[in-house]
């Protein structure tokens, strides 16, 4: 299943009991969708490509701006004004040419998300707006695809893992209102290592799950205060009235 070059490339993670040749072969067979190639999507895509996730769909409809470079470590100054998805494919291919990269440069909506989510084993929500987050959540719930969602604004980071059958609820149970929050990176700022830390942890959970382990974070919301360096874990509760996941398990309790 793995060739000699791959055994060498991935040798340090092949040593791990939870990965091994079988887990590595699973990673190679996997398809992931990464929604957003910014501060979170940069470390997420770099680590997943480096780890040998075999098929990556890279979705972003934006071009690179000067203000992105303070935290979006996939990109370089000379890349300004070029499409991020194209740039990401170039960078990641240079890092690991064994991976298949597909790019999506249109804005993801409920309609076009369906096809992308259906062909993925796992989705990483690295986007920067509530409308896309809700559309990604709804598509994952509908097609029963695990979702690893991250966000970071100012010194506050969030990490959420949801896996089928989504008994702990979904993103819409937590945030029923799809309105944009007042605080975002543009209004409140963010430090590069904040998105770097959350994105790295998204990649960690994704690699473990794709290799065949369960996520210890399933159904839990992790909150990180980067100023105090403190973590808080909240158990997600399913809202029986949730428009997205509420009706699915009505006979189970
Ligand atoms: Zn829900």
Ordered by where they begin, the domains of the chain are 4-235 (3.40.50.720)
Is 82 a residue whose pLDDT tops 90? yes
Degrees to nearest 5, angle at CA 211 with 28 and 101: 35
Which residue in 126, 140, 170, 185 is the catalytic one? 185
CA 240 to centroid of ligand 1, rounded, Å: 8
Residues with beta carbon < 5 A to ion ligand 1? 169-170, 172-173, 242, 244-245
pLDDT in tens, 92-144: 999 999 999 999 999 898 889 999 999 999 999 999 999 999 999 999 999 99
Question: Does residue 103 sit in helix, strand or coil?
Answer: strand
Residue 203's nearest CA partner among 9, 211, 223 is: 211
Cis amide bond preceding 31, omega within 30? no
242 among known catalytic residues:
no
Name the average pLDDT for the chain.
94
Q: Is the pLDDT of residue 168 over 60?
A: yes
pLDDT for residue 247? 65
CB–CB of 211/145 below 8 Å?
no
Please report the pLDDT score of residue 126 as a whole number: 98
For the ranges 95-109, 167-181, 199-213, the lowest mean pLDDT is seen at: 167-181
Measure 37 CA to ligand 1 centroid, in angstroms.
Answer: 26
pLDDT of 212: 96
Distance in Å, CA 127 to ligand 1 centroid: 19
Q: Is the dihedral of CA 175, 177, 178, 183 positive or negative?
A: negative
| Tokens describing residue 71 | 């935290």
Query: C-alpha angle with apex 166: 164 to 171, nearest 5 degrees?
Result: 120
């Amino acid at each position: 299943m793995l060739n000699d070059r791959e055994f060498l490339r991935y040798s340090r993670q092949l040593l791990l009991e939870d990965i091994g040749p079988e887990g590595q072969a699973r990673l190679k067979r996997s398809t992931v969708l990464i929604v957003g190639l910014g501060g979170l999507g940069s470390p997420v895509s770099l680590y997943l490509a480096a780890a040998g996730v075999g098929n990556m769909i890279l979705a972003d409809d934006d071009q690179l701006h000067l203000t992105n470079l303070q935290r979006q470590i996939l990109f370089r100054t000379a890349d300004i004004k070029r499409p991020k998805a194209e740039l990401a494919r170039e960078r990641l291919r240079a890092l690991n040419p064994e991976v298949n990269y597909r790019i999506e440069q249109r804005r993801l909506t409920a309609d076009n998300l369906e096809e992308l989510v259906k062909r993925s084993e796992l989705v990483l929500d690295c986007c920067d707006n509530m409308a896309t987050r809700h559309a990604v959540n709804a598509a994952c719930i509908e097609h029963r695809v695990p979702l690893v969602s991250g966000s970071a604004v100012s010194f506050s980071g969030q990490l959420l893992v949801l896996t089928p059958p989504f008994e702990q609820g979904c993103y819409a149970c937590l945030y029923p209102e799809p309105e944009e929050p007042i605080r975002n990176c543009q209004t409140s700022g963010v430090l590069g290592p904040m998105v770097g830390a959350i994105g790295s942890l998204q990649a960690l959970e994704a690699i473990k799950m794709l290799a065949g382990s369960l996520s210890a974070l399933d159904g839990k919301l992790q909150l990180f205060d980067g100023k105090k360096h403190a973590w808080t874990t909240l158990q997600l509760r399913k809202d029986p009235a949730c428009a997205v996941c509420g009706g699915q398990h009505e006979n189970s309790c």
